[in-house]
Chain A
Amino acid sequence: QLQLQESGPGLVKPSETLSLTCSVSDGSISSSSFHWGWVRQPPGKGLEWIGSIHYSGNTYYSPSLKSRGTISVDTSKNQFSLKLISLTAADTAVYYCTREYRSASGYWGQGTLVTVSS
């Protein structure tokens, strides 16, 4: 059974950069059938798609990020990562990593809460 696990800081200061990593186990990130994505959910609010990456390196991002986000993949470590710059309080959310197949996320990490505060 594929498992996804997010890791990263729980607290980040405003204007700083968030770096999260998703470790994939019991499955290969190099499968051509899937994309690997990030979804976030502010406290008490709905889901927001951030972006996704194919192991080949092709990336797709939500226009709402306004070019603040970068997703990368490390096939040697079976991991993919999210970097989000210029953080504000509005970026406070639970961040999930997912495996996408035809835009459907069938596998999710448990989520990690990131709070942006000084």
Chain B
Amino acid sequence: QSALTQPASVSGSPGQSITISCTGTSSDVGAYNYVSWYQQHPGKAPKLMIYDVTNRPSGVPNRFSGSKSGNTASLTISGLQAEDESDYYCSSQTTSSTVVFGGGTKLTVL
């Protein structure tokens, strides 16, 4: 299984909105609504931000939202804040009952 494709980096100014894409295939992202997004600060364990494409765990700000169209999922962060600067990873269940991650995207808040 190949890693899901994410842009290496994105940036935005405080208050703006950014979107990170996550492209897979019909064997993973396109197969199920089991796409997740994680935030990882340096030296820390990843934190689940979105699961099942659109759902936010308790405590995650509603500035974070997820969507999917075909084989591509997206994470949108609105009202960008300095604390959102981090690495973001998507993941998806596959038709082989495994999980595949994206390569990661570094978000810079200008």
What residues on A are CB-neighbors of B34 within 8 Å?
Answer: 102-104
Contact A106 B45 (CB under 8 A): no
What residues on A are CB-neighbors of B52 within 8 Å?
Answer: 102, 104
What residues on B are CB-neighbors of A105 within 8 Å?
Answer: 36, 38, 46, 48, 91
**B100 touches A (CB below 8 Å):** yes
**A109 touches B (CB below 8 Å):** yes
A49 touching B57 in the complex, CB below 8 Å, given contacts A102-B93, A103-B34: no
Q: Which of A39, A49, A61, A104 has its CB near the most chain B CB atoms (within 10 A)? A: A104
Chain A: residues with Cβ within 8 Å of the partner, total of: 25
Contact A101 B46 (CB under 8 A): no
Task: Give a binary string over A99-118; 1 marks a CB under 8 Å from any B CB, 0 the rest.
Answer: 01111111011110000000
The binding surface of chain A is classed by DSSP as: strand
Task: Give a binary string over B48-66; 1 marks a CB under 8 Å from any A CB, 0 the rest.
Answer: 1001100001000000000
Closest chain A CB from B87 CB (angstroms) = 8
A52 vs B91: C-alpha distance when bound (angstroms): 14
Q: Which of B52, B89, B101, B102 has its CB near the most chain A CB atoms (within 10 A)? A: B101
What residues on B are CB-neighbors of A104 within 8 Å?
Answer: 34, 36, 48, 51-52, 91
A108 vs B40: C-alpha distance when bound (angstroms): 12
Contact A62 B51 (CB under 8 A): no
Task: Give a binary string over A71-104; 1 marks a CB under 8 Å from any B CB, 0 the rest.
Answer: 0000000000000000000000000100011111
Task: Give a binary string over A43-73; 1 marks a CB under 8 Å from any B CB, 0 the rest.
Answer: 0001111011000000011111000000000
17 residue pairs of the A-B complex, CB under 8 angstroms, read A37-B99, A47-B101, A49-B91, A49-B100, A49-B101, A52-B99, A63-B1, A63-B98, A64-B1, A101-B51, A103-B34, A103-B91, A103-B99, A104-B34, A105-B36, A105-B48, A106-B51
Closest 6 CB pairs of A and B: A104-B51, A103-B93, A104-B36, A108-B45, A46-B104, A49-B99
Interface residues of B (CB under 8 A from A): 1, 3, 34, 36, 38, 40, 45-48, 51-52, 57, 89, 91-93, 96-104
Interface residues of A (CB under 8 A from B): 37, 39, 46-49, 51-52, 60-64, 96, 100-106, 108-111
